[in-house]
Amino acid sequence: MENENKVVIYKSKDGKINLDINFNKETVWLTQEQIGVLFGINRTVATKHINNVFKLGEVSEKGNVQKMHIANSDKPVKFYNLDMILAVGYRVNAKKGIEFRKWASNVLKDYVIKGYSLNQNRLKEIGLKEFEESIAFVKNVVRKKELTYDESKGLLNVILNYSHTWSTLQRYDEDKFPDVGKIRSSKFVLTYDTAISYINDLRHNLIHKKEASDLFGKERTKDSLDAIIGNIYQTYSSKELYPTIEEKAAYLLYFIIKDHPFVDGNKRIGAFLFILFLNFNNYLFDKKGEEKIDDNALAAISLLVAESNPRNKDLMIKLILNLIIDK
């Protein structure tokens, strides 16, 4: 998928604000001047708030600021993404900030639905039908649900990753994976006792923060989770059915979400154990030291699995593998 810059038009509900806004890297970007116009403050005040946000560490400058060339300017101009825009908005005009956040969420949702950025060159290389089925499934979920901005962004991340690695996964399915060294055997063995111990710690932490009830992490039946863990380590003719880190992690996430072993919290627990498993196998970070899957993408993939039909299991496993497999 291409990640080229696009311009979208924002118009406030009262019609008093009309801005041409840059859409790039899965988010929207405004200059200091535009932030001032959006929230009814002058540029100097906007600059002051931006500096304070950076100073207090609410938003990191890395990744949230980029320079772009604009018309009638011989120098690149600084643009700030949605995180910074909202941080300023909550300081000076929360109502307008909320209105803008909702608009931005819809922009991203439309971007996913309309599929602006399908990479045509990649589509010629890979199995087109399967790819289109995957995109259609994501679109269907987007249409059915009222998504938050983070959920929309996560779904877009999932699709963006497709165009980069789907062909690799296709070759892997055909036993033609180019570099066997990239698929590593799992050294860490997840046991029921270890999983339950960490889930209990998670439950106590969430209850303390009032983000979960006592039902969170309670097994429906005594052997619910144990059976799932047994599934990812099952063997046939003395060989593991899921021999790699990636496969075990993907099926662990899928089975926990789809089999509902807990009364409450299946998606969160599935995502939690998924990250835990990758981390204990030293597979959570890429060669640059960055997490292979961010919170938004993990939440999005969990949502897709939960919404999926069981007959789409293979597709869901591929979606998960696509996010974590070494590129």
- pLDDT tens digits along 210-256: 888 999 999 999 889 999 999 999 988 888 889 889 999 999 999 99
State the Cα–Cα distance between residues 318 and 68, nearest whole angstrom: 36
Q: Is the dihedral of CA 10, 11, 17, 19 positive or negative?
A: positive
- pLDDT tens digits along 251-266: 999 999 999 999 999 9
> Residue 263 contacts by C-beta under 8 Å, 6 or more apart in sequence?
215, 216, 218, 219, 220
Per-residue confidence band for 28, with pLDDT thresholds at 50, 70 and 90: confident
pLDDT at 179: 38
pLDDT at 169: 41
pLDDT at 77: 86
Looking at residues 31-36, what average pLDDT do you find?
Answer: 90
Secondary structure of the chain in HEC code, one letter for each residue = CCCCCEEEEEECCCCCCEEEEEEECCEEEECHHHHHHHHCCCHHHHHHHHHHHHHCCCCCCCCCEEEECCCCCCCCEEEEEHHHHHHHHHHHCHHHHHHHHHHHHHHHHHHHHHCCCCCHHHHHHCCHHHHHHHHHHHHHHHHHCCCCHHHHHHHHHHHHHHHHHHHHHHHHHCCCCCCHHHCCECCCCCCHHHHHHHHHHHHHHHHHCCCCCCCECCECCCCHHHHHHHHHCCEECCEECCCEHHHHHHHHHHHHHHHCCECECHHHHHHHHHHHHHHHCCCCECCCCCECCCHHHHHHHHHHHHHCCHHHHHHHHHHHHHHHCCC
% the chain with pLDDT above 90:
20
pLDDT at 145: 57
Q: Is the pLDDT of residue 163 over 50?
A: no
> Residue 239 contacts by C-beta under 8 Å, 6 or more apart in sequence?
none
Looking at residues 5-14, what average pLDDT do you find?
Answer: 78
pLDDT at 254: 96
pLDDT at 230: 93
Q: Is the pLDDT of residue 166 over 50?
A: no
State the Cα–Cα distance between residues 270 and 296, nearest whole angstrom: 15
- pLDDT tens digits along 52-76: 999 888 888 887 888 887 766 678 8
For the chain, give the mean pLDDT.
77
- pLDDT tens digits along 130-146: 555 555 555 565 555 55
- Domain coordinates in residue numbering, the chain: 6-105
pLDDT at 174: 43
CB of 108 within 8 A of CB of 158?
no
pLDDT at 90: 84
Question: Which segment, 74-83, 173-182, 246-255, is predicted with the most confidence on average?
Answer: 246-255
Per-residue confidence band for 9, with pLDDT thresholds at 50, 70 and 90: confident
State the Cα–Cα distance between residues 17 and 203, nearest whole angstrom: 45
Per-residue confidence band for 176, with pLDDT thresholds at 50, 70 and 90: very low
Lowest mean pLDDT among 86-90, 163-167, 249-253, 281-285: 163-167
Looking at residues 34-46, what average pLDDT do you find?
Answer: 89
Q: Is the pLDDT of residue 124 over 60?
A: no
